[in-house]
């Protein structure tokens, strides 16, 4: 990464300050409202999202089994809404329900959230139907809310420092997050000695270190807050697996167009699996100048064309005037929800989404 570029500018004064269940952060949302990535669905959700919605209903004990949960969805007894419309950024196919734990990030007057991820695959964010995902999330959430949350309330953790460490290590903070995650966990360990009642014990610290993507939702919440704090004309951006969309500041509606699948490297054995269209709210990270806008190969040229130098955030006006669309690093998921994660790639949203005449 070019050493003289300040990738942290959008995240100045952003702090991870709490972990709370969705019901505590958004008490106005009924239990039967589930939140998904990207714009609203203009038809049936894709299979990975359906799997995650079923998992969410079982997590909330709103259904006795998979079949009952699926029936609730089919009957329309459950509402699926865009997470970013409520200040939450959710990764990939993960669906957020009332008692799921959320990380809370504050930047000035703006607070945004993102769901805790339970670990590597199989995982809810990959659209897995495995029951172990729910168990791992529940166990991790109980520990985070009882041990880590009190520490964060006493001493919020600066996001800017985590990003600076990751950039210095050559990471772009989306597809590659090991250094960012280590910086985050090390800060938690240093500030909560094991001798204290809420100390970060070695076992749980090792668990967080074994899941390098643990930091990503925290960066997503910070990026969502940065879009609001910067007064960017784009307040929400992401894909739902069928459509990719953006929502302008002050608007209640999304501009959305069919989403192509990310292009990239498939895992061995998954070369012929049909990929899901671009999905996930992690696009907010790339829109804030990280991820695809911090790639080694063309970071300087791309940033020069796309980034507002005053904010460090992608300027949609530049795209409307002919600049290339932002690059978004995204995982590639199996469209049919069987194989889950099948590769990693890059997606560039259509320029028409940013056009003034849309």
- The mean of the pLDDT values for the chain is 94
Going by pLDDT thresholds of 50, 70 and 90, the confidence category of residue 355 is: confident
CB 313 within 8 A of CB 294: no
Query: What distance in Å separates the CA atoms of residue 114 and residue 91, rounded to the nearest whole number?
Result: 8
**Which of 71 and 2 is assigned the larger pLDDT?**
71
**Could you tell me which CATH class the domain 9-354 is placed in?**
alpha beta
Name, in order, each residue with C-beta under 8 angstroms of 76's C-beta and a sequence gap of 6 or more: none
Question: What pLDDT shows up at residue 283?
Answer: 98
The rounded percent of the chain whose pLDDT value lies above 90 is 88
pLDDT tens per residue, range 170-198: 999 999 999 999 999 999 988 765 545 55
Rounded average pLDDT over 336-352: 97
289, two tokens: 């100048």
Question: What pLDDT shows up at residue 218?
Answer: 98
Of 68-77, 234-243, 281-290, 291-300, give the lowest mean pLDDT range: 291-300
**What are the CA-CA distances from residue 13 to residues 86, 88, 157, 179, 343 (Å)?**
22, 19, 10, 21, 34
CA-based Rg of the chain, rounded to a whole angstrom? 19
pLDDT at residue 199 tops 70: no
Question: What pLDDT shows up at residue 164?
Answer: 97
Name, in order, each residue with C-beta under 8 angstroms of 28's C-beta and a sequence gap of 6 or more: none
pLDDT at residue 68 tops 90: yes
Query: What distance in Å separates the CA atoms of residue 172 and residue 187, rounded to the nearest whole number?
Result: 20
Beta strands at 255-258 and 110-115: parallel, antiparallel or unpaired: unpaired
pLDDT tens per residue, range 5-58: 899 999 999 999 999 999 999 999 999 999 999 999 999 999 999 999 999 999
Rounded average pLDDT over 286-301: 84
Beta strands at 328-333 and 341-347: parallel, antiparallel or unpaired: antiparallel
Question: What pLDDT shows up at residue 2?
Answer: 52
pLDDT tens per residue, range 115-146: 999 999 999 999 999 999 999 999 999 999 99
3-state secondary structure (DSSP) of residue 102: strand
Query: What distance in Å separates the CA atoms of residue 72 and residue 15, rounded to the nearest whole number?
Result: 38
Strands (E), 139-268: 157-158, 234-240, 243-248, 255-258, 263-266
pLDDT tens per residue, range 304-322: 899 999 999 999 999 999 9
**The 3-state secondary structure of 248-308, one letter per residue:** ECCCCCCEEEECCCCEEEECCCCCCCCECCCEECCHHHHHCCCHHHHCCCCHHHHHHHHEE
Rounded average pLDDT over 80-99: 98
CB 65 within 8 A of CB 5: no
Going by pLDDT thresholds of 50, 70 and 90, the confidence category of residue 204 is: confident
pLDDT at residue 73 tops 80: yes
Question: What pLDDT shows up at residue 357?
Answer: 63
DSSP 29: S
Torsion angle in degrees (nearest 10) through CA of 293, 296, 299, 300 = 160
Comparing C-alpha atoms, which of 298, 327, 350, 310 is closest to residue 174?
Answer: 327
Question: What pLDDT shows up at residue 191?
Answer: 74
Going by pLDDT thresholds of 50, 70 and 90, the confidence category of residue 82 is: very high
pLDDT at residue 3 tops 60: no
Query: What distance in Å separates the CA atoms of residue 320 and residue 302, rounded to the nearest whole number?
Result: 15
Comparing C-alpha atoms, which of 314, 329, 106, 307 is closest to residue 221?
Answer: 106
């Amino acid at each position: 990464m070019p050493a003289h570029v300040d990738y942290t500018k959008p995240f100045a004064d952003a702090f991870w300050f709490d972990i709370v269940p969705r019901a505590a952060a958004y008490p106005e949302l009924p239990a039967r409202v589930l939140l998904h990535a990207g714009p609203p669905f203009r038809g049936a959700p894709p299979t990975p999202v359906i799997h995650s919605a079923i998992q969410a209903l079982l997590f909330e004990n709103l259904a006795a089994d998979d079949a009952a949960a699926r029936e609730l969805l089919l009957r329309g007894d459950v509402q699926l809404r865009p997470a970013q419309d409520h200040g939450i950024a959710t990764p990939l196919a993960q669906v957020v329900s009332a008692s799921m734990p959320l990380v809370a990030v504050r930047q000035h007057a703006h607070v945004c959230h993102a769901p805790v991820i339970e670990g590597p695959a199989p995982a809810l964010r990959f659209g897995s139907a495995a029951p172990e995902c729910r168990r791992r999330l529940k166990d991790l959430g109980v520990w985070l809310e009882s041990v880590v949350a009190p520490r964060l309330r006493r001493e919020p953790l600066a996001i800017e420092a985590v990003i600076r460490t990751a950039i210095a290590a050559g990471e772009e903070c989306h597809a590659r997050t090991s250094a960012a995650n280590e910086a985050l966990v090390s800060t938690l360990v240093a500030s909560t000695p094991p001798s204290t009642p809420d100390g970060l014990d070695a076992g749980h610290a090792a668990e967080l270190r074994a899941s390098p993507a643990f930091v990503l939702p925290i960066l997503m919440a910070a990026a969502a807050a940065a879009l609001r704090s910067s007064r960017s004309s784009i307040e929400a951006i992401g894909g739902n697996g069928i459509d990719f969309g953006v929502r302008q500041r002050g608007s209640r509606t999304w501009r959305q167009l069919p989403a192509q699948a990310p292009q990239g490297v498939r895992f061995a054995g998954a070369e012929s699996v049909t990929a899901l269209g671009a999905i996930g709210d992690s696009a907010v990270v790339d829109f804030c100048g990280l991820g695809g806008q911090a790639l080694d190969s063309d970071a300087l040229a791309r940033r020069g064309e796309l980034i507002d130098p005053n904010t460090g955030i992608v300027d949609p006006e530049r795209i409307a005037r002919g600049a290339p669309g932002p690059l978004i690093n995204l995982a590639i998921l199996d469209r049919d929800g069987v194989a889950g994660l099948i590769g990693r790639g890059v997606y560039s949203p259509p320029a028409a989404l940013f056009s003034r005449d849309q």
